[in-house]
Amino acid sequence: MRAKLVVGNWKMNGGLRANAALLAALTAEWNPAADRPIAVCVPFPYLGQAQAALTGTPIAWGAQNVSEHASGAHTGEVAASMLVDFGCRYALVGHSERRQFYGDTDAGVAAKAAALLAAGVTPIVCVGETLAEREAGTTEAVVLRQLDAVLAVVAAQAAQLVVAYEPVWAIGTGRTASSEQAQAVHATLRARLAAAGAADIPLLYGGSVKADNAAALFAMPDIDGGLIGGASLKAGEFLAIARA
Ligand code: PEP
């Protein structure tokens, strides 16, 4: 059976006090025996806080980005080895906000995934089409181009990836892909991953997932869980999604 996984992406939200309350609520309410694996990807400055709060709990943590470089003259960047120092199991790469607003390219995302794998951190590779690309009928071509760029660089370790399909038009908009729309793209991605020897990696859906639409999405055969943005900032909502 494929692993299930629900990951929260806090984006650039939080503060020491609010994080403490959120992390305490998650650890108090998450039942490792009955519940599925979950993780939170927090802003870099709060990795230490997440590590302190979550060490010894069944909840994993990670970052939202990483440098493709190992060390050196890269002011403002954070290396994969630094994420290891803070116990990160995961890091997002290629989130659409980074592709859209911070210049992340397919090749750069692949290099970041490779840097993470070399350090022993699991990359959560985000792919997804814009509304214009969907309307132009290029959804499959776009997500496969984004995925192939990563597979070309980390072919031997493809089975260690997590992939998240996040249609850009559904992120933070309240507009979710229908279960059928999401499943169709997931099936395409699954076929490509299977050809790369990675058929069984977790394939997550993200884009305005809420407690009331999660069950229908997660019931789809190729959707193994979710990458949750806004709704991961409320413990009750996030855990309701994770239980869906
Ligand atoms: C995200 O940021 O990865 C995301 C899916 O956001 P939201 O759930 O808020 O749409």
At 135, which CATH number? 3.20.20.70
Q: Can 95 be counted among the known catalytic residues?
A: yes
The packing angle between helices 106-119 and 139-153, to 10°, is 40
Report pLDDT digits (tens) over 151-201.
999 999 999 999 999 999 999 888 888 999 999 999 999 999 999 999 999
Distance 189 CA to ligand 1 centre (A): 19
Q: CA-to-CA distance for 85 and 88, rounded, in angstroms?
A: 8
Structural domains of the chain, count:
1
Helix or strand run (H / E) with residue 28: helix 16-29
Q: Which residue of the set 95, 129, 133, 186 is catalytic? A: 95
Q: Give SS3 for 184.
A: helix
Cβ of 114 closer than 6 Å to ligand 1, yes or no, is: no
Q: Indicate if 74 belongs to the active site.
A: no
Distances in whole angstroms, Cα of residue 15 to Cα of each of 43, 44, 89, 96, 231: 10, 12, 22, 23, 17
Mean of the per-residue pLDDT values for the chain? Answer: 96
pTM for the full predicted model: 0.97
Rounded distance from Cα 72 to ligand 1 centre (Å): 32
Q: Tokens for 131, please give them.
A: 């509304």
**How many A from CA of 158 to the centre of ligand 1?**
24
Question: What range does the domain containing 53 cover?
Answer: 5-243
DSSP character at residue 222:
T
Instruction: Please identify which residue in the block is written with the tokens 């249609």.
Output: 167
Of ligand 1's atoms, which has the minimum distance to the CA of residue 170? Answer: 10
For residue range 11-40, list pLDDT tens digits in order: 999 999 999 999 999 999 998 666 679 999
Residue owning the nearest CA to atom 6 of ligand 1: 229
Cβ(165)–Cβ(185) below 8 Å: yes
Rounded alpha-carbon distances, angstroms, from residue 90 to 43, 47, 180: 13, 11, 28
Query: 69 with 41: CB under 8 angstroms?
Result: no
Residue 2 confidence (pLDDT): 85
